[in-house]
Amino acid sequence: MQKRNVSKYVLALLTLGGVGSWGCAADAGGPDDAVGANAEELGHWSAWRERQESNARGEELWFDATFGGEKFFAWLGSPAAGDRQLPVGFEAVMNTPRAQRFDTWGVINDPDCEANPAGGMDVCDDPQATGVVGMRRTPIGGGAYLYGITCASCHAGFDPNRPPADPNEPSWDNIHPTIGNMYLKTGAIFAANLPPTDLRRLMFASWPEGTVDTTALFNDGIMNPGAVTAFWNHDFRPRFDNGTGEMDMRNGQGGEDDLGGDVAALRVYTNIGACFQECVVPAMAADRPISIDECRATCADFPTEAEIGDLVNFLASVYAPQYAGRPNWLKYGRGRQVFQRNCASCHDNTGWQHFVLSNDEVNPLADDPVNATNACRVLTSNWEEGNIWAEFSSPLYKQRIADGDRGYRSMPLVGIWSTSPFMHNNSIGVRAPADATQAERAAAFEASMNELLSTERVPQVHVTPMDIPLGDGSSLPAGTPLHYLFSRAPDGSLLCDDFVENRGHYFGADLSHRDKSALIEYLKFQ
């Protein structure tokens, strides 16, 4: 299994968590004190070892566990799905020659597999492996398989500090577990088996690389793909009382999954098919939310609390990749001052927040219309009271929606040098090549930051490439924003008329060139 990055944050954890005091037993005053100190030391080591074992189990789940989601994808591709039918292109991906697979689909090839000399699916020792990281198969007899996905299918990507020489032949050292695959062509995979006349092809074609619409399979009527999230430095993320009396971490670009990492993980698994027939179908049929308790009671595949605990521990063990080398200290110091004056009110860099660079607060779009970003992603309704994922959002989230305060979280900026393009929909900036060196990736980051720190952006609007006939004999002309087709309620009303994908967040646009350059230098080393 893959080797994970270790950063300066590990040292902070060891010191702040008391690990640095383990060697102090020699200072004890007598034999009894020494025995007590040694027992305490052994207790620390035992807890540390248990945590490492939990991390290892969580990592295995991250890469390999589908929790029965393959049954959902089999249903989704069958006529039983009715107007939801969507035969996802798993086999098209896996049967693409290994040497062309990343270039064609943006997926990460499994380093433990190799190309099949006879053609077709890769040869792997693991009978459930498919040759693609995060895509798994389950035999059902007669040489047939069901296909499902794991968290790593989207969130594992290339390590910016150890890039592959050949993106089609990475080693585990080249793969970072949680950076997010910014090259993944999710829309192409979803559209692979659709007929040429299926209008959904237009929607999937508009999804930028490295984005996915988590509500596409549980349709909320809004075209709203979002960037695949990078996960790191979770131990330092702010916690909030979200109305339950518990202090939990927010997740989701709009703060939807805000009942902590454990509940957020369960929501993701229901989205990728866990226990679909047992507890999701009944909820959909009754037009009510999924019940976590019902899933746990009726479905043997549902992740256990112990498994989710291991997964959360694993995610908490991953830290942001650090840019190597030394900064220009004069420039860095000026950049820190620029950051303090212009960015720190949302992207706090004091105390513990220095390890996150975000207060994780939700910023209502209506409070600052000039800087408001494209609204479609936060108009999703699936987490609202009475809807499919209502149990996965807090009373605070639901009250915010009721008050009309939809908005996006202040996303963490730590590790930002490695994750361009930016914004919730990857709409601003450039993407470095998959085999980019550290310096080349940093150059893509700098170019992306200069675009972000500007009001001079070419508006990005997804439009129809041809006339689209409508049922009443009329048609939508070529160049019509795709939201006219794909952001509509069942009654035909338009749900999102915000067409420009890359608008908003103009903070810093009025800075001098010198200050922008200094700010970029500062952020590169965070």
> pLDDT for 48-96, tens place per residue?
899 899 999 999 999 999 999 999 999 999 999 998 999 999 999 999 9
What is the DSSP track for 389-454?
TGGGS-HHHHHHHHTT--EEE----TTGGGS-SBTTTT-BS----TT--HHHHHHHHHHHHHHHT-
Angle at 426 between CA 219 and CA 451, to 5 degrees: 150
User: Mean pLDDT over residues 34-45, rounded?
Assistant: 64
- Specify the residue for token string 């000039």: 370
Q: In the beta sheet, which residues pair with residue 145?
A: 139
- Residue 15's pLDDT band (cuts 50, 70, 90): very low
Cis amide linkage into residue 303, ω under 30° from 0: no
Phi, psi (rounded to 5 degrees) for 274: -60, 130
Instruction: Tell me how crowded residue 84 is: count the other CB atoms within 10 A of its CB.
Output: 12
> Length of the chain in residues, anyone?
526
Could you tell me if 520 and 323 are in contact, meaning their C-beta atoms sit under 8 angstroms apart? Answer: no
For the whole model, what pTM was predicted?
A: 0.91
Give the burial string for 211-227 (b: 16+ CB within 10 Å, else e): bbbbbbbbebbbbbbbb
* Residue 316 CA to its chain's centroid (Å): 15
- Specify the residue for token string 């009303």: 493
> What is the per-residue pLDDT across 116-131, written as a single tens digit (0 to 9) for each?
999 889 999 999 999 9
The confidence score (pLDDT) of residue 29 equals 38
Of 324-328, 357-361, 460-464, 508-512, where does mean pLDDT reach its minimum? 324-328
> What is the per-residue pLDDT across 365-421, written as a single tens digit (0 to 9) for each?
999 999 999 999 999 999 999 999 999 999 999 999 999 999 999 999 999 999 999
The average confidence (pLDDT) of the chain is: 91
User: Mean pLDDT over residues 427-452, rounded?
Assistant: 97
CA–CA separation, 278 and 269 (whole Å): 14
The confidence score (pLDDT) of residue 219 equals 85
Residue 5 pLDDT > 90, yes or no? no
Could you tell me if 453 and 335 are in contact, meaning their C-beta atoms sit under 8 angstroms apart? Answer: no
Q: How far is CA 63 from CA 94, 128, 176, 217, 231, in A?
A: 17, 12, 11, 22, 14
Give the burial string for 445-466 (b: 16+ CB within 10 Å, else e): bbbbbebbbeeebeeebbbbee
Residue 268 pLDDT > 50, yes or no? yes
CA–CA separation, 479 and 468 (whole Å): 10
Residue 237 pLDDT > 60, yes or no? yes
CA–CA separation, 275 and 13 (whole Å): 37
Looking only at the bridges linking them, the beta strands covering 157-158 and 475-476 are unpaired
CA–CA separation, 485 and 208 (whole Å): 18
- Residue 244's pLDDT band (cuts 50, 70, 90): confident
The confidence score (pLDDT) of residue 36 equals 55
Residue 18 pLDDT > 70, yes or no? no
- Residue 19's pLDDT band (cuts 50, 70, 90): very low
**Tokens for 388?**
């499919």
The confidence score (pLDDT) of residue 37 equals 57
**Tokens for 292?**
């976590």
Residue 151 pLDDT > 50, yes or no? yes
The confidence score (pLDDT) of residue 8 equals 37
Alpha helix (H) ranges present in 171-304? 186-191, 200-206, 261-271, 281-285, 292-298
Residue 135 pLDDT > 90, yes or no? yes
- Which uninterrupted H or E stretch holds 102? helix 98-105
- Residue 7's pLDDT band (cuts 50, 70, 90): very low
CA–CA separation, 206 and 208 (whole Å): 6
Computed over its alpha carbons, how large is the radius of gyration of the chain?
24
Residue 24 pLDDT > 50, yes or no? no
% the chain with pLDDT above 70: 92
Residue 288 pLDDT > 70, yes or no? yes
Could you tell me if 173 and 456 are in contact, meaning their C-beta atoms sit under 8 angstroms apart? Answer: no
User: Mean pLDDT over residues 348-377, rounded?
Assistant: 94
> What is the per-residue pLDDT across 449-498, written as a single tens digit (0 to 9) for each?
999 999 999 999 999 999 998 878 889 999 999 999 999 999 999 999 99
Of 105-114, 152-161, 233-242, 469-478, where does mean pLDDT reach its minimum? 469-478
Could you tell me if 111 and 94 are in contact, meaning their C-beta atoms sit under 8 angstroms apart? Answer: no
Residue 321 makes CB contacts below 8 A (sequence gap 6+) with 5, 7, 159, 160, 161, 176, 179, 415, 418
Nearest CA-CA partner of 381 in 268, 500, 215: 215
Instruction: Tell me how crowded residue 489 is: count the other CB atoms within 10 A of its CB.
Output: 12
> What is the per-residue pLDDT across 293-332, written as a single tens digit (0 to 9) for each?
999 999 999 999 999 999 999 999 999 999 998 999 999 9
